[in-house]
Amino acid sequence: MDTELTEEEQIGSKRYHLFYKLEAALEAPMFILSVLWLVFLIMELTKGLTATQELLVVIIWGLFILEFLVKFIIAPHRWQYIKSNWLTIIALLIPAFRVFRLVQAIRILQFSRVTTSTYFVRALTSGNRFLREIKEAQGPEPEPEMNVGIMLALSRTADTAGMESFARQLSLDTGPEMEAGTGIKWIFHLAEPVTLESDSPRGPSQFLDDASMRMAEGPFDLVVVVTDVALLSRKNKAEPGLASQVSRVLVISTRKLVRSQRGEPRRSLDAEDVRWNGAALLLHLLGHISGLRRKDRNESEVMAPYLFKEGRRSVPHLNTAERKALRRRSEWLPERELHGGNMAEGLIFHILMAFRHPKEVAVPLLRNWALLLPLSLPGLATAAVAPSFLLIFTAEIWDVGLNMPNQIVILYAVISILGATFYLVRVQSLFLPRKDKRILTEHLAVANTVIFLSMLLACIGLFIIVGSLMYLIETYIFPEGLMKTWPTLLDQPEIDWRAKLRLAAFISTVGVTTGALAGGLESRTVIQHLALFREKP
């Protein structure tokens, strides 16, 4: 059978692909323009628009028309495109009546300006599509099974074959108990190993880069990292294993498992004690990630605080209450996935997953004291405070700050804090996985939400810290009489606390901006402070 396409079919196919590539490329900028239009709509309803703002409204409207015309020209089936977007055409025509006043009767509609807004009609016409994209952004319903990636993170001197055998045995020993507890199938996959630069101790967050890549490549519902180097908690205490319910990554160190009592020979990886205690540790960490709480030893074998037991020869069993809890949560365990989403879909996916897991988002934010995070990042804090100390003794900054309207100060502060947050997160590549991947899993989106909110709170905290310092200098150090001798401040009868607070906020805003731009961050250091992992196994 001849399968070659005719010239007309080839042109149609090219137009089809070009159309949808263009639609994907324009999704983000047109979404931003729609948000901007909404801002102008709110301003129009509350206080009206200036001539410049009215001009911007016309420009945005023109861009909407240009988008429609370009898509119409490229569309493979133009008549079908018009029939599918007839409400959009009406939406694009209505502002013409309003802007140019061609029809006097249209003024009747001005009792409700919403009806004359392109944004409103555009949102109305794309409502079904928006709801469909929200549904698609959540990802399809996952299969009722857990796919677990096991990643070996080995030093150059590690026994690779022995570690692989140990990892496989872990999955064989723990898989049946998790299947019995959750009622769904658990499948373990040995992922590509990672070679560490040295055998020096590491925190669990230092494995997140590679683990998140494996999770996206798998894609896996969770990733187990097995390493032969020592594992340190945030308090620099050596632990046999730590888990992150936020990112669905857990780390097990064989260093603690093979360590023996003083004076006794080191245990081997294939020893029975190491095998069964490793399985008990993995089962405990899997229970934590699956939503089980820590219990006393009298209440639970699995979720009691982990201890290495000499002579252990079996895996501890989940009790009846724990099995019931896991059965209730079983439909939440397999990960939803976003495949190849654009910017808007990615944003929606992150928001939806954050609302789907509010506890996993809130707990790290409370635990990591994000508002005080700048105190743990000296580069960021120094880059913010140093120029602020210079600005506070500059006459021009007093002139600008004291005469700036409160609304402008607030708007400037909000824009600067959000801009600094986006800069730190994106430019410093804090999102997981750090390399672009076509697949984003549910808990990587949750972890990214925690990272973004933590950096946002950190920038707010930096703003408060710098502003407080500036206010103290203005109040208790700066000579008040000196201010009144400056020519630009002679007409100020009195500089009260409100004016000083406004000036402190203005200087702090500059400090936050310079701190983000010049201070820089070390991504591993930041992630380490975000408390994504529990302190103890």
Q: What is the pLDDT of residues 430-446, one digit of tens each?
A: 888 877 667 888 889 99
Domain boundary among 297, 332, 367: 332
Query: Is the pLDDT confidence value at 117 over 80?
Result: no
One domain for residues 119 and 150: no
Is residue 345 situated within a structural domain? Answer: no
Strand partners, 149: 189, 223
Question: What is the domain-level CATH number for residue 176?
Answer: 3.40.390.10
Domain boundary among 125, 156, 187: 125
Q: What pLDDT is recorded for position 525? A: 67
One domain for residues 372 and 505: yes
pLDDT bin (cut points 50, 70, 90) of residue 318 is very high
One domain for residues 457 and 490: yes
Which residue range forms the structural domain that includes residue 482? 357-528
Is residue 175 situated within a structural domain? Answer: yes
Is residue 130 situated within a structural domain? Answer: no
Is residue 348 situated within a structural domain? Answer: no
Quickly count: other Cβ atoms within 10 Å of residue 108's Cβ: 9
Q: What pLDDT is recorded for position 3? A: 40
Query: Is the pLDDT confidence value at 459 over 70?
Result: yes
Strand partners, 440: 338
pLDDT bin (cut points 50, 70, 90) of residue 337 is confident
Query: Is the pLDDT confidence value at 425 over 80?
Result: yes
Q: What pLDDT is recorded for position 74? A: 77
Q: Which residue has the higher pLDDT, 240 or 401?
A: 240
Count up the domains in the chain and report the number. 3
One domain for residues 395 and 466: yes
One domain for residues 383 and 454: yes
Q: What pLDDT is recorded for position 85? A: 65
Domain boundary among 284, 317, 332: 332
Is residue 139 situated within a structural domain? Answer: no
Q: DSSP code of 141?
A: P
Is residue 133 situated within a structural domain? Answer: no
State phi, psi for 479 to the nearest 5 degrees: -65, 120
SS3 label, residue 377: coil
One domain for residues 153 and 68: no
Is residue 307 situated within a structural domain? Answer: yes
Q: How far apart are CA 223 and CA 533, in angstroms?
A: 14
Average pLDDT over residues 100-110: 36
Q: Is-above-0.85 flag for pTM?
A: no
pLDDT bin (cut points 50, 70, 90) of residue 108 is very low
pLDDT, one tens digit per residue, over 270-295 is: 899 999 999 999 999 999 999 998 88
**CB within 8 A of 159, min separation 6: which ones?**
228, 269
Query: Is the pLDDT confidence value at 492 over 60?
Result: no
Q: How far apart are CA 248 and CA 444, in angstroms?
A: 8
The lowest-confidence range among 153-167, 213-227, 422-436 is 422-436
Query: Is the pLDDT confidence value at 175 over 90?
Result: yes
One domain for residues 207 and 174: yes
